[in-house]
Structure 1
Amino acid sequence: MSNFTESNGKTLRHTRADVLAAAMKILDELGLPDLTMRRLAATLEVQPSALYWHFANKQTLLACIADEIIDRAKGIGVGLDWKAATRAEAESLRNALLAFRDGAEVVSSTLALGLGANQAQARLTKALTGGGFDAATAETAAAAILHLILGQVWHEQQRIQADSLGVVSGTAAVTPEHAALGLPSNQAFELGIALLLEGLEQLAHTRNNLGTV
């Protein structure tokens, strides 16, 4: 916990968790473009420089937000086969991203810069290893599934936002239930995951057969 002393002599006490919670509220209500350190400082009634007690820069803050979003994904149940477990993890991650405005963009940028959100791929990898795949295959497949999740949710969130602003071209309105390529977004997502998992299983089968020749 840090003491933030303003120019008027007023001292406020905010924890790192307080700053993070305020940032996530701004993100959810206004979107990523409006999540600035200046706006965050104004919300907490401190000078912008006070925020750097807890976060070195905005990207570090966004990385912590990304980790928090991923952490809120519910864990899968026990006793599932590898396909069901992977689907459950993928759906849980998708729901976590959708729970926050611009959630996919925040997590994607954090991963691209190598600053955090690593648990997303780790959870998918763990689920995939239940299928008996070697570590390299499981990690690569997890990355492919994660890219599908991030891309699909990012697209969905952009379309929903555009529709809310009235700037979507064409006559079809875009809603959370109908946001991707003319299909309900959940159907497009489920089909993509199914194709990846079935393809992975077929690849493993082919490799096993070749290994016996």
Structure 2
Amino acid sequence: MATTRLDPAQVVDTALRLLNDVGLEGLTLRRIAKELNVQAPALYWHFKNKQALLDEMATAMYRDMARRLAVTEGVTWQERLMEVQRGLRRTLLGYRDGAKVFSGTRFTDTGHAETMDAHLRVLVDAGFTPSAAARASFIVYSFTLGFVVEEQAVEPMEGERARGYDLEKRAERIGADYPLAAAAGADLFLDFEERFEEGLRAVVAGIEATLGPASG
């Protein structure tokens, strides 16, 4: 085994790469250590447990999203909300179980604050109160995160389809007794791009009606 000093960033990069091979359940500190050719205890100098590593992985994913996010200047607040969520979804889909890794983690530095502040400023300048802007952002973020969790359960990575989501077999199994539920399969488990855009528009319209500047 190697005895060279580990760089925490190297551990995170290795973990993110392995994630696409083994998924969140298979991503263990022991597996990462083996990939790095070190003993597992060497990782504990930098990450006290797997959750600490997941926090750092989520932070790295956010940095990647912020770096690649092409935000158009002069757009409406509705368009800004949607642009950011599209960028988040693209980032999460780049990793097997990406949404599960991101969910429930905390950022390990303050680098996200600049992007968040600029995002909230667009909403405040459009007439939102700071509190309403924060709540609106959280609502649409929660939609995206939940959507991608469900999407990746069906399609873990691009071009893959998980077992158990054969729509014909599903319809045969439940169709005789529950025709509406059987017919809903295509709307639930296909065309995720279209469904995400549809849901995103619905959420933003709801925000406009309940939290937006003209909501009363």
Q: What TM-score range do you get, normalising by the shorter chain?
A: 0.7 to 0.9
1:61 corresponding residue in structure 2: 53
Q: Distance in 2 between matches of 1:180 and 1:71?
A: 33
Partner SS, residue 11 of structure 1: coil
Q: Deviations over 1:24-53 (max 9, x none)?
A: 111112100110011111111111110011
Match for 2:202 among 195, 207, 210?
195
What stretches of structure 2 of length at least 5 have no aligned partner? 171-184
Number of residue pairs aligned between Structure 1 and Structure 2: 191
Matches for 1:20-39 after TM superposition, within 5 Å: 20-39=12-31
Q: Distance in 1 between matches of 2:60 and 2:97?
A: 14
Pair 1:17-2:9 in alignment = yes
Q: What amino acid is aligned across from residue 151 of structure 1 in structure 2?
A: G
Contact 1:159 1:179 in 2 (8 A): no
Match for 1:166 among 163, 177, 198?
163
Contact 2:154 2:189 in 1 (8 A): no
Matches for 1:22-101 after TM superposition, within 5 Å: 22-73=14-65, 74-75=68-69, 76-101=71-96
CA RMSD of aligned residues (A): 2.8
1:210 corresponding residue in structure 2: none
Matches for 1:131-210 after TM superposition, within 5 Å: 131-161=126-156, 164-171=161-168, 181-203=188-210, 204=212, 205-207=214-216
Partner SS, residue 144 of structure 2: helix
Shift of 1:127: 4.3
Q: Distance in 2 between matches of 1:166 and 1:148?
A: 25
Partner SS, residue 49 of structure 1: helix
C-alpha spacing 1:127/1:95, structure 2 compared with 1 (3 Å): farther
Contact 2:154 2:165 in 1 (8 A): yes
Partner SS, residue 85 of structure 2: helix
Q: Percent identity?
A: 31
Please, what TM-score do these two structures have when normalized by structure 1? 0.79
Contact 1:20 1:65 in 2 (8 A): yes
The answer to which structure, 1 or 2, has the higher relative contact order (CA under 8 A, 6+ apart) is: 2
Q: Distance in 1 between matches of 2:162 and 2:200?
A: 30
Q: What amino acid is aligned across from residue 13 of structure 1 in structure 2?
A: R
Contact 1:89 1:127 in 2 (8 A): no
What stretches of structure 1 of length at least 5 have no aligned partner? 1-5, 208-213
Shift of 1:172: 7.6
Contact 2:209 2:215 in 1 (8 A): yes
Contact 1:41 1:48 in 2 (8 A): yes
Q: What amino acid is aligned across from residue 15 of structure 1 in structure 2?
A: D
Contact 1:90 1:149 in 2 (8 A): yes
Q: Distance in 1 between matches of 2:126 and 2:203?
A: 14
Shift of 1:11: 2.4
Pair 1:116-2:125 in alignment = no
Q: Deviations over 1:133-162 (max 9, x none)?
A: 001111111111011000110100011149
1:211 corresponding residue in structure 2: none
Shift of 1:130: 4.1
